[in-house]
Amino acid sequence: MSEEQFQKGWRLKLHEIIYGTHTPAGKLFDIILLVVILYSIIIVMLESVPRFDLKYHGFLNVSEWVVTILFSVEYVLRIICIKRPSKYIFSFFGFIDFVSTIPKYLSFFIGGSQYITAFRALRLLRVFRILKLVRFVGESNNLVRALKASRTKIFVFVFFVLIVSVLLGTIMYLVEGPEHGFNSIPHSVYWTIVTLTTVGYGDISPETPLGQFIATLIMIIGYGIIAVPTGIVSAEYASARKVDKTVDEGRSCHNCGADIVRSDAEYCRKCGQKLNDD
């Protein structure tokens, strides 16, 4: 029983360091983790540059193994120090942590550099863990609230833009045709979205006077409707600013790892676990 008590105390301490962010050790852990993640992303990026890969292949390979082992240790510790490991393993960040660690081991068994490169890309998703640090800033709450409130409206808007793009794209296909680079309707729709969003690559551009006239109309439409999402978000954000509640960040549930947002919370809002137990 005392053994169990000890282990529980040891696991609780580890839990506070790895999941929590309100102790100095927990903060340090998260900052170190952030640095290692950034380092691993830079390595993946440099590996994709042929010039660097030729010159420093050995160094990059060793670096990646070191990072992979560090992440493996972190992954195992995360599972150990939580009461219900399945809650973590099948959570969003649990999944990202897993797919960030596994590809390098797989490259050992399965040859074929093509596939491994593809897996490496997924490791970049690890950066989203940094967003947990972003919460510290405490400023993004209003932003998230405003975006959530305007979600449906933005969707309706994007849906309408897509319908308009399909229609205008078809008209441009009929006007310009394959001889001016508008090879097919999907290709013309791609061009319409490039124009409507004011990106304007210029890989395809209208050449007939009528096509240029329609392109002009599309641009002015795009210029006008760019106001719509902005108007929505502005209004929602302005009203979201008024519903600002103070939150106590840094604690997390010992049972399922969820963040404790309200400072007066006594039970975890995700799994119902009594908080502050030892």
List 189, 256, 260, 268, residue binding a second copy (CB under 8 A): 189
Three-state secondary structure call for residue 113: helix
CB of 180 to a second copy, least distance (A): 11
Region near a second copy per CB under 8 A, out of 96-104, 157-165, 252-260, 266-274 = 157-165
Token digits of residue 14: 């580890």
CB of 257 to a second copy, least distance (A): 22
**Is residue 184 a contact residue for a second copy (CB under 8 A)?**
yes
CB of 277 to a second copy, least distance (A): 34
For a second copy, the binding residues in 69-88 under the rule CB under 8 A are none
Token look-up 């081991």 returns: 105
CB of 246 to a second copy, least distance (A): 16
CB of 189 to a second copy, least distance (A): 8
Task: Name the DSSP letter for residue 83.
Answer: S
Give the residue with the Cβ less far from a second copy, 94 or 169.
169
**Is residue 112 a contact residue for a second copy (CB under 8 A)?**
no
At a CB cut-off of 8 Å and minimum separation 6, what does 65 contact?
Answer: 104
**Is residue 246 a contact residue for a second copy (CB under 8 A)?**
no
Phi, psi of 259 (to 5 degrees): -75, 140
185-194 contacts, C-beta under 8 A, 24 or more apart: 189/165, 192/165, 192/168, 192/218, 193/165, 193/169
Token digits of residue 183: 């090879």
The residue count for binding a second copy (CB under 8 A) is 84
Angle among Cα 115, 116, 120 to the nearest 5 degrees reads 120
For 259, the enclosing helix (H) or strand (E) is strand 259-260
Binding mask 201-230 for a second copy (x = CB under 8 A): xxx-x---x--xx-xx--xx-xxx-xxxxx
Whether 260 contacts 268, CB under 8 Å: yes
List 81, 96, 232, 260, residue binding a second copy (CB under 8 A): 232
**Is residue 99 a contact residue for a second copy (CB under 8 A)?**
no
Instruction: State the CB neighbour count (10 A cutoff) for residue 21.
Output: 21
List 57, 143, 244, 248, residue binding a second copy (CB under 8 A): 143
- What distances in angstroms separate CA 277 from CA 6, 81, 182, 220, 250, one per listed residue? 15, 15, 67, 62, 17
Binding mask 27-66 for a second copy (x = CB under 8 A): --------------x--xx--xxx----------------
As a whole number of angstroms, the distance between CA 18 and CA 10 comes to 12
List 79, 89, 237, 258, residue binding a second copy (CB under 8 A): 237
Region near a second copy per CB under 8 A, out of 16-24, 55-63, 83-91, 231-239 = 231-239
CB of 265 to a second copy, least distance (A): 24
As a whole number of angstroms, the distance between CA 273 and CA 267 comes to 5
CB of 262 to a second copy, least distance (A): 22
